[in-house]
C-alpha cells in the first residue's frame, strides 16, 4: 500500500483504519523510497489485532530496466538504508520540479506555490503520480491516465529519468536492515533464469498476487517461486479510492504464506 508519504491518497492512519474495517489480518505499508509513514501507521495500529509489517518500495535497476523492489520487515533505524532512501528522495524531488518545468514548457500553466500545496510533506516522496493528480484536481486534465499518455509516460515530453539503485545494492540494503527483498509486480521478464540470478543476489521472495496479474500468471509465478525456493508475497498496490481493482485488500496471500515470508526473513538475520 502507498500513503500520502509517497503517491497515495490515504494517510497511514486512514489505511490502518480501512484495513481494520475490511477484516484484514496483516498489512504492509510500502511507500516509495521512504519509511517515514511508519510511525503514524504504528500509532494507529497500536492496541489492535492488525499486524503491521514495516516495508518500503525501492526504485532499483536490473539489466537496464526499472525493477520495483519491496523490502519487508526492515528496521527503521538502519543507517545505510536510511541514507540510501534519503538519496533517492533527493533525486525524486529534483526530478519532480524538473518535470513541472517541462509541463509548463508543454503549455500547462501553473505556479510553484499552487503545486506545492499538492505535494507530500517534506518527509514524503515526490513522483509523477503526484504531478498527474495535481493536474486532475485542478481541472487541467481529465484523468491520471491522460496525463501519463500525454506528458509523463516514460517517453513523454515532460518525463525525466529517475535515479535507480542497482538491484544487487538494493537487495543488500534490505537484507542488512533485517528484511526480505521481494520483486514487486514482476513483468514477463520474470523467468526461471532471472529469478535464479536474483536469488543469487539475495532476493527472498516474489510477488505473485497483484492487480494486473492474470490467474494463469499468478499460478506460473507461484511455480517459479517454488522452483527457486522463494517465498511469495501479494498485495493490492493501493494508492487510493479511485482505482477499484487496487482497493485495499483486493489482492492478498494466506497467513501460511505470510509465515513463510517471515521464515525467509530469518535467513537475513
For residues 213 and 221, the answer to whether their CB atoms sit within 8 Å is yes
Residue 123: its pLDDT value, please? 59
Under the banding of pLDDT at 50, 70 and 90, the label for residue 242 is confident
Residue 116: its pLDDT value, please? 83
- DSSP assignment letter at 73: S
Residue 7: its pLDDT value, please? 87
Residue 188: its pLDDT value, please? 79
Under the banding of pLDDT at 50, 70 and 90, the label for residue 265 is confident
Under the banding of pLDDT at 50, 70 and 90, the label for residue 268 is low
- Is residue 138 predicted with pLDDT exceeding 90? yes
Residue 122: its pLDDT value, please? 58
Q: Please determine, looking at this structure, whether the domain spanning 88-152 carries the CATH number 1.10.150.
A: yes
Query: Average pLDDT in the 256-262 region?
Result: 95
φ, ψ at 180 (rounded to 5°): -110, 130
The answer, as to whether pTM is greater than 0.75, is yes
- Is residue 41 predicted with pLDDT exceeding 80? yes
Return the CATH fold of 12-87+166-266. TIM Barrel (3.20.20)
Ranges of each domain in the chain: 12-87+166-266, 88-152
Residue 243: its pLDDT value, please? 85
For residues 61 and 166, the answer to whether their CB atoms sit within 8 Å is yes
Q: Please state, in angstroms and rounded to a whole number, the distance separating the CA atoms of residues 206 and 232.
A: 5
Q: Please state, in angstroms and rounded to a whole number, the distance separating the CA atoms of residues 175 and 153.
A: 32
List Cα–Cα distances, 37 to 61, 101, 118, 184, 253, in angstroms: 24, 28, 17, 20, 23
Mean pLDDT rounded to a whole number for the chain: 92
- Is residue 129 predicted with pLDDT exceeding 90? no
Amino acid at each position: 500500500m502507498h500513503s500520502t508519504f509517497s503517491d497515495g491518497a490515504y494517510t497511514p492512519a486512514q489505511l490502518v483504519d480501512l484495513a481494520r474495517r475490511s477484516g484484514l489480518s496483516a498489512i504492509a505499508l510500502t511507500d516509495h523510497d521512504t519509511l517515514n509513514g511508519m510511525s503514524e501507521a504504528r500509532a494507529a495500529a497500536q492496541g489492535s489485532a492488525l499486524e503491521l509489517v514495516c516495508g518500503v518500495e525501492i526504485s532499483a535497476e536490473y539489466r537496464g530496466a526499472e525493477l520495483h523492489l519491496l523490502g519487508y520487515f526492515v528496521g527503521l533505524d538502519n543507517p545505510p538504508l536510511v541514507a540510501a532512501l534519503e538519496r533517492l528522495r533527493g533525486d525524486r524531488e529534483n526530478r519532480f520540479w524538473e518535470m513541472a518545468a517541462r509541463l509548463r514548457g508543454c503549455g500547462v500553466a501553473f505556479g510553484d506555490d499552487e503545486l506545492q500545496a499538492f505535494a507530500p510533506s517534506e518527509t514524503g516522496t515526490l513522483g509523477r503520480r503526484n504531478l498527474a493528480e495535481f493536474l486532475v484536481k485542478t481541472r487541467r486534465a481529465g484523468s491520471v491516465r491522460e496525463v501519463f499518455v500525454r506528458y509523463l509516460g516514460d517517453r513523454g515530453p515532460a518525463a525525466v529519468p529517475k535515479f535507480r539503485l542497482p538491484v544487487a545494492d538494493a537487495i543488500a540494503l534490505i537484507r542488512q536492515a533485517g528484511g526480505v527483498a521481494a520483486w514487486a509486480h514482476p513483468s514477463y521478464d520474470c523467468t526461471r533464469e532471472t529469478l535464479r540470478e536474483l536469488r543469487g543476489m539475495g532476493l527472498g521472495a516474489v510477488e505473485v498476487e497483484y492487480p494486473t496479474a492474470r490467474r494463469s500468471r499468478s499460478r506460473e509465478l507461484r511455480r517459479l517461486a517454488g522452483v527457486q525456493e522463494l517465498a511469495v508475497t501479494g498485495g493490492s498496490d493501493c494508492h487510493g479510492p479511485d482505482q477499484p481493482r487496487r482497493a485495499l485488500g483486493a489482492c492478498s496471500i494466506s497467513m501460511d504464506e505470510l509465515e513463510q515470508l517471515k521464515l525467509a526473513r530469518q535467513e537475513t538475520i
